[in-house]
Structure 1
């Protein structure tokens, strides 16, 4: 990098310096806004905790309210959330009459009055309680609607249960810390069919490459929609690659593309020897000696092909960019074939660097490549007509590239009702009142819905009654609950309720990026680390965050369940740190 920097002219260096200065100024302004929001949220959380404690005490007239999660040590919170509850089991559980799986900050709530107009009683099947995933029990890795990672994506909604039966002997109703997750998509069938139809066109090689652009508000489910086609694409013999642009890594050129093609290389070397050999020959024939240039960008490629011994031509500036585009075109022609079409999905294009946008344009406008389907998603509320992405899309359209545009909106009230009905395994007719309240608060945004349900469950407004063996909810309390104005504020509220140690771990991970490997996390804690906590405690904190639905632990890496969670955690870092 240093040698390339030295090779730049003074004018070229000035361009990069100006870009860096503008980005830095923008980041500082965004951080300042986030700090203000954090201060406001902390004050709101404090006032809210005081009000809820007073309300709970006057309503129950029982024991004083427990300390909030932020007021107790992590070890105490963890113990209360799990192992200490094993000694507290209902006879109904022993007899098998019901099979609840509640772990978390379980506590008694006031005995409900079935005659009260504000208490809605439902009668789900006795197995419905098994569909709830306690945060402190450990959800199945990779099963997250918010992220839809490459782990197994089954056809139905899953809410993982745990074998721990932790109900108090004298408790009539249950609430707790719950992480509602679903793999099923609601109201997106037409969008999924549209994308698959475009893929089939690519497989038939009737025209040049195809492009699908998915837009929508943050949390609408754009990523989940595209990830839904991964399984059918691979079953039909295609390759599905994905990468994600990071809000905090916009100065790193080609970051998402490098991740996607590294994924391809790592996948190919695990295939049988015959497929690996065919891929190697195809790349060598198409790319030739220029593969040495490509290996500099995608180091994992050297696992497939041998690096040519011939000396490469030293180029810089615009010539190097033209060379890069041409070599990538050759590479994609080699790996995207009629028998094995390539789907390249890049998420969060609104954060793409200029070089990545140029390279995307060169790939989709390559008339020699007929087996590539490029899918890009972006937040339309963050992209105006003057945004680099909008300008680039207009350039691509002017080149007669086939572009299919999909806008992912919020769920309808009917789809929201179906989602809630599935989550709590209750008849859709009985969940109408709950749906009406949730829909008014969330406007049908999927991320908001899932987090809001988790929130009202934690606060005892939505609970399972062991007396009636049915889900109940307090409409008046749900209606009176304040809702965040945006997803970052929503996630801030959730993170601020966690113990300080877990907040610190999330802030550290936010600095490392959307995704980080275990060995990096371990090195940060080695010898006291930046947080002055042991490696074991740091991993415990991240595992707990995973059980809260904030982080996914997939393989040897941790990644945020949604980039808005990363933004929220990052915004909690004081400026002097």
Structure 2
């Protein structure tokens, strides 16, 4: 009997019922307008592709557009956006008018799909050299839009098509994805909303090791509500047995079935390969590589020679390329390929030949002799040099030249590949190519190096690409190395740009400002006496921004004014606009607000005219800051919204300023009471610094806490902690929101600890963050006041004394922050004054009875537009009024606080307001009045907490629901119930409720029957 396994699609799908059901359910939801994504993981050969094929057939049968792309293991550098180019490529020539129009209306797609849009990019996929070693140099604009325009174009394309018909986008082998592909996928998944779109991406679980670049991205993606995970486990023994039986063409002995099932360990591909290799029922090979190679031993020498040639290519190979590299005659090559295809080792795909499974390719490639491998790589490189192949030509040439150790050919190819990657908006791939060029630089003879390239240029390029791909520390390292390459005879302009590159890379990293001052000082020293030029104008503009950051305002103003003059003289509008922003910020510091805003508006207009979008976004950021500092919330929100729209238009949504605009906008939405229904932070693209994305998380955290979503809030709090030093604003958010979280959970000691930890950290880090101590101190004081009150109720004088002492210490720190802090606008703004008023009122509660006048002032101060914080103060104000016997006024404040809490779904505040109203017997509009407490003629054995738990159990709540309502853990609820049942002599929950009703310990609500469980 000859056992030749059939392709997986040739047999019924074994097991995988649950996984396929989840995938189909995800597509069905997408059909209804609930966009989603599935991350399908599993070991190599476990059946991911087969499962995706079933899903694609299902979606196609329902009229969906199915787009499929695969990542390839091209190792170093990679081909930017390869799976997306493969999946979306057919759309460039689609006959469907909706699809055609969606492609045609987005010129940025030309970077990925050259046929999509006639234009310059479509004719620059391959840039020929004019001499043996010359590398064309394309001047880079002062502001690069980067990969972000392309991201928005792809999202818009899929959204438009999805409005026409459902779309299924399948991306396979994500573990081989290059950085640009990962960035684009992350961007798309973060923007899934109401499109009729399902994205499914598969990856090998065992390949995503701890240091794999995909690992961190997966951690971020799984937090998105639209993303689900489906893990494909090995088949269970019964399913594996059924699979092996279905796989064979004829009956198998029980011994063979048992052996294959045991050795394959439930992996369908392993089982298929093991079965194919045991034709004569001989002992099976031990290792997987041996299994795979043993199967190939049955092929002819010519077939094995062809397989070795294809394994070196690492991708689908054309017939002509194989004929050249394998060095076989036409007839011999045809027979060898036919044999490999018939034995299911190769498949024909898009006119080329490739391995049916990547493990086969890896096994064959790994079995090559060193010399054999080098010769074949050299043959591919020679063919690529002779026959231009369009997109990715230089990256392929560089790869094969590196593997064949032909560094002389590899070096210019790497530089051309980096240039192409930059044009495609893939700075991460460009960075890797430049890094490879640096690695082999010394191995290439000086005479063979490109004429217009030296190590200084490579280091400067590496610094630039590291900065644009979100790796600031590497950007600094390369910039420092570039400075180290400067010599006495270095061209002056190059030296200036090198020092300025270092200053810019240092300027935006926390704790590096002193080094930035030194670096820009070196650049300025070189041009201080020079005539006005664009280089000098940019140095002056950068210098002005750095000097302002260290409070050398007068020098910063002089430098900025000179930059404006130079920029106007030489026509550098970008440098002029950058300097105007610094001047506007300095005017704001000096209290000249109208002048500041006029300069910032002018800077934004000039930057837009100069096509410098980053400078334009910076201008809008500072204009928004000016409005925000003065409590003009509406104008600030409008300005940030304009900036957000502009960032989206220019493809800079994920840039540093694009993120800052969204972060500030979200914070103001929190203050103004316009809370989004779900997270709008989005998942960051992998190329974006995690420090920047932490800003968005920090802006979202207060809303999560205020809504009582304590589980997610705790998770976000932990995620922010590693970013405190790199981005101190996250420490402010984590300290404030973390203290409030602990306060609502009743852990007042933890609330104080979190707030003080943030205050101490910021004080030690930079005195410029001293003002943050006002808000953080107010949060800590609220917990201290609660501790003092609890101590007084218990009659615990030592606890009260400790709370009073701590409260005095904290209010002293708050007052010190007010006295020594330096507000951006020169004087304490509305937000600072409001938090100070709240801190003073709360401190009074810690040392004694609450003061209604202090709370009235706090309510008034938050009236500038901070809706939620004002509602919190109104609740506290009502409690102070009740303490002095003014229930009428207290009722008004409680009603206002309750209305805000209800509208915002701020559940902890709402429940606190209702609890105070219940205790004070105050009716709240729209809230049913609770029945009066029952008369008890016997001693009540229950504590207030135990009664609260039992009351909710009587209403049919589960332990988890009771815990969520009372802000305690499910385990604590169980402990309270156990104590209640012990005190009442009950054996079940329902019996405890019944006994409590009978003894008058609980009042039965009208129409409410005893819970039966």
- Cα drift, residue 483 of structure 1: 2.7
Does residue 244 of structure 1 match 2:59? Answer: no
Alignment correspondent of 2:313: 512
Which gives a bigger RCO, structure 1 or 2 (Cα 8 Å, sep 6+)? 1
Q: Larger Rg: 1 or 2?
A: 2
The count of residues paired between Structure 1 and Structure 2 equals 357
- The C-alpha deviation readout for 1:104-136, integer Å capped at 9, x for no partner, is xx8xxxxxxxxxxxxxxxxxxxxxxxxx65x9x
Q: Which residue of the other structure, out of 299, 318, 322, is the alignment partner of 2:114?
A: 299
**Alpha-carbon distance between aligned partners in 2 of 1:251 and 1:444, rounded to the nearest angstrom:** 32
Q: Which residue of the other structure, out of 208, 211, 215, is the alignment partner of 1:390?
A: 215
Alignment correspondent of 1:195: 23
Alignment correspondent of 1:491: 292
Alignment correspondent of 2:246: 422
- The C-alpha deviation readout for 1:68-109, integer Å capped at 9, x for no partner, is xxxxxxxxxxxxxxxxxxxxxxxxxxxxxxxxxx7xxx8xxx
Does residue 144 of structure 1 match 2:144? Answer: no
Q: Which residue of the other structure, out of 98, 110, 120, is the alignment partner of 1:278?
A: 98
Alignment correspondent of 1:410: 234
Partner of 1:364, secondary structure, is: helix
Does residue 502 of structure 1 match 2:303? Answer: yes
- Counting strand residues as a fraction of each chain, which structure ranks higher? 1
Alignment correspondent of 1:262: 89
- Cα drift, residue 353 of structure 1: 1.0
Partner of 2:370, secondary structure, is: coil
Does residue 435 of structure 1 match 2:262? Answer: no
Partner of 1:549, secondary structure, is: coil
**Alpha-carbon distance between aligned partners in 1 of 2:312 and 2:259, rounded to the nearest angstrom:** 37
Aligned runs of 1:29-44 on 2, under 5 Å?
A: none
- Counting helix residues as a fraction of each chain, which structure ranks higher? 2
Distance 1:314 1:240, change over 3 A: farther
Q: Which residue of the other structure, out of 161, 166, 178, is the alignment partner of 1:341?
A: 166
Alignment correspondent of 1:67: none
- Cα drift, residue 233 of structure 1: 0.3
Computed over aligned residues only, the root mean square deviation of the Cα atoms, in angstroms, reads 3.1
Distance 1:317 1:568, change over 3 A: farther
- The C-alpha deviation readout for 1:236-279, integer Å capped at 9, x for no partner, is 1111111111112552111111111114445x34xxxxxx2222
Does residue 531 of structure 1 match 2:326? Answer: yes
- The C-alpha deviation readout for 1:310-362, integer Å capped at 9, x for no partner, is 9999869863112221222222222222x512111111111111111110011
Q: Is contact 2:173–2:203 with CA below 8 Å preserved after alignment?
A: yes
- The C-alpha deviation readout for 1:24-76, integer Å capped at 9, x for no partner, is xxxxxxxxxxxxxxxxxxxxxxxxxxxxxxxxxxxxxxxxxxxxxxxxxxxxx
Task: Name stretches of at least 5 consecutive residues in structure 2 with no aligned partner.
Answer: 125-138, 376-1013
Q: Is contact 2:103–2:109 with CA below 8 Å preserved after alignment?
A: no
Q: Is contact 2:42–2:231 with CA below 8 Å preserved after alignment?
A: yes
Distance 1:537 1:342, change over 3 A: same
Distance 1:391 1:424, change over 3 A: closer
Distance 1:318 1:251, change over 3 A: farther
Alignment correspondent of 1:544: 339
- Cα drift, residue 200 of structure 1: 0.6
Alignment correspondent of 1:330: 156
Q: Is contact 1:348–1:377 with CA below 8 Å preserved after alignment?
A: yes
Aligned runs of 1:559-570 on 2, under 5 Å?
A: 559-570=354-365
**Alpha-carbon distance between aligned partners in 1 of 2:109 and 2:248, rounded to the nearest angstrom:** 51
**Alpha-carbon distance between aligned partners in 2 of 1:497 and 1:425, rounded to the nearest angstrom:** 19
Q: Is contact 1:420–1:431 with CA below 8 Å preserved after alignment?
A: no
- Cα drift, residue 420 of structure 1: 3.0
Q: Which residue of the other structure, out of 374, 392, 417, is the alignment partner of 2:199?
A: 374
Q: Is contact 2:33–2:194 with CA below 8 Å preserved after alignment?
A: no
- The C-alpha deviation readout for 1:360-380, integer Å capped at 9, x for no partner, is 011111156622211111111
**Alpha-carbon distance between aligned partners in 1 of 2:258 and 2:143, rounded to the nearest angstrom:** 58
**Alpha-carbon distance between aligned partners in 2 of 1:426 and 1:574, rounded to the nearest angstrom:** 38
What is the TM-score normalised by the length of structure 1? 0.57
**Alpha-carbon distance between aligned partners in 1 of 2:231 and 2:220, rounded to the nearest angstrom:** 20
**Alpha-carbon distance between aligned partners in 1 of 2:92 and 2:190, rounded to the nearest angstrom:** 24
**Alpha-carbon distance between aligned partners in 2 of 1:538 and 1:561, rounded to the nearest angstrom:** 19
Q: Which residue of the other structure, out of 223, 227, 236, is the alignment partner of 2:49?
A: 223
Q: Is contact 2:277–2:294 with CA below 8 Å preserved after alignment?
A: no
Distance 1:367 1:378, change over 3 A: closer
**Alpha-carbon distance between aligned partners in 2 of 1:388 and 1:318, rounded to the nearest angstrom:** 25
Distance 1:453 1:317, change over 3 A: farther
Distance 1:342 1:491, change over 3 A: same
What is the TM-score normalised by the length of structure 2? 0.33
**Alpha-carbon distance between aligned partners in 2 of 1:405 and 1:355, rounded to the nearest angstrom:** 22
